[in-house]
Structure 1
Amino acid sequence: MADDPEFEVPAGLFERVEEIKAGMAGLKAQLDEVAAAVNSVTASGLSDDAASSGAVEEAEYATDSDGPDTEKEWQYPPFILLLDSPQYDKELRALTEWVEGVLVPGYLAEPSTDARWCHLWWEHPVAVARLHAVWLAWQELTDPASCGYTGPSVWHRDHLDPTMRELRGSTGPFAGCTKGEHQIGHRMPGLVPSAWIQGED
């Protein structure tokens, strides 16, 4: 059995990891604030459907009570990869219904080496993130009240087509998935890239 390759840990790597962790904690705190604001709006009389996660047909406003001239701030749908359970599970279930009910039967042809697809797509975080984004855009751009008659065309051109090229291409997240096989770790490098290794002084 071959020995594992030896490499030096770059200076400051652990400190950078801690900075990233702190940044993610800050993002989570902001997300918690948004969730609390949505819950307060729901409790004040809106139906659960209108305030449910993933609903973008009508964006809700959060208002500041400091005075009559305070500006209103938009509340945007959360990025799915920042959600924790059970919110992530709920959002993924809704996304799965759309992918399996609309996207797969309506837009996906038979998978091939030039147009890949994984039947376990939800196990690929990159695929989940991209499909969630294209689904949010679909919700907004297929509603004539918010986008007029050109919304579906814009959705196909600016959202669906680029997403499908990225997901189904030979270098996309399904690159290692073929008929009868499924790989979720195939894009991880086997060795640390040489650019991460500090040169000797």
Structure 2
Amino acid sequence: MADDPDVPDFEVPVGLFQDLEDLKVTVASLKAQFKALREGADGGAGEAFADDDADAGEEPEEDAAQDDDEAQYPPFILLLDSPEYDDELRALIEWVEGVLVPGYLAEPSSDARWCHLWFDHSVAVARLHALWLAWQELTDPVSCGYTGPSTWHRDHLDPCLAQLRSSTGPFAGCTKGEHQIGHRMPGIVPSAWSQPED
């Protein structure tokens, strides 16, 4: 081991290795983001990037072949049509009922509402689907390191639940035992400008 140039002669703290692993994950994530931005660039910019790749000794055709092999992420649920929507909703229901409800939702109250038929509220479906997509990404240590779950709680879970469970959220008309999808819209507010003349 003393002859190995990669092994330092001094004692390295364990935390340093964890920091290095986090940095590696961050660099890999940034590379993936750059690659996605590069592929989404206009034709002129894309040609310049392709020239840069060729200069660097990389084959652009190989990159395209690798992209086909990469996993495709699901699009936003409200943009899906049946049967894709139904499949995505079924998976979302499993996650909400299996992870979110037992782990994070306390008993509903007037200050923290919840509807057991949440999947009938399109706003709730949209927000919970976005929360679920973030959970899938941020609980994978390969893509986000060890801080992903903390980021998910702070940036995604807390704001989402605050919006869903607020008194003006999508469950505002739902009380214990009752469920309303089409909540009453406010009527026309009388205006001083439209008062009938005497």
Deviation string 1:74-98 (CA, Å, 9 cap, x unpaired) is 8653111111110100000000000
2:158 to 157, 161, 164: 161
1:69 to 44, 50, 56: 50
Report how many aligned residue pairs link the two structures. Answer: 140
Matched, 1:119 2:108: no
Task: Give 1:193 shift.
Answer: 6.7
Task: Give 1:189 shift.
Answer: 1.7
2:86 to 86, 89, 98: 89
What is the DSSP-based 3-state SS (H/G/I as helix, E as strand, rest coil) of the residue aligned with 1:69? helix
- Report what 1:141 is aligned to: 138
Counterpart amino acid of residue 159 in structure 1:
H
Q: 1:107/1:190 Cα in 2 relative to 1: closer, same or farther (>3 Å)?
A: same
- Report what 1:52 is aligned to: none
| TM-score, structure 1 normalization | 0.60
Please give the alpha-carbon distance, in whole angstroms, between the structure 2 residues aligned to 1:193 and 1:90.
42
Please give the alpha-carbon distance, in whole angstroms, between the structure 2 residues aligned to 1:170 and 1:160.
18
Q: Which has the higher helix share?
A: 2
Q: 1:98/1:79 Cα in 2 relative to 1: closer, same or farther (>3 Å)?
A: same
**Identity of matched residues, %:** 72
**What's the C-alpha RMSD, in Å, of the aligned pairs?**
3.5
Counterpart amino acid of residue 94 in structure 1:
A
Please give the alpha-carbon distance, in whole angstroms, between the structure 2 residues aligned to 1:85 and 1:77.
14
Alignment map for 1:28-107 (pairs within 5 Å): 69=50, 76-107=73-104
Point out the structure with max Rg over C-alpha: 2
Please give the alpha-carbon distance, in whole angstroms, between the structure 1 residues aligned to 2:94 and 2:84.
16
Structure 2: stretches of 5+ with no match in the other structure: 1-31, 41-45, 52-59
1:110 to 107, 112, 118: 107
Please give the alpha-carbon distance, in whole angstroms, between the structure 1 residues aligned to 2:76 and 2:130.
8
Q: 1:191/1:100 Cα in 2 relative to 1: closer, same or farther (>3 Å)?
A: same
Q: 1:142/1:178 Cα in 2 relative to 1: closer, same or farther (>3 Å)?
A: same
What is the DSSP-based 3-state SS (H/G/I as helix, E as strand, rest coil) of the residue aligned with 2:50? coil
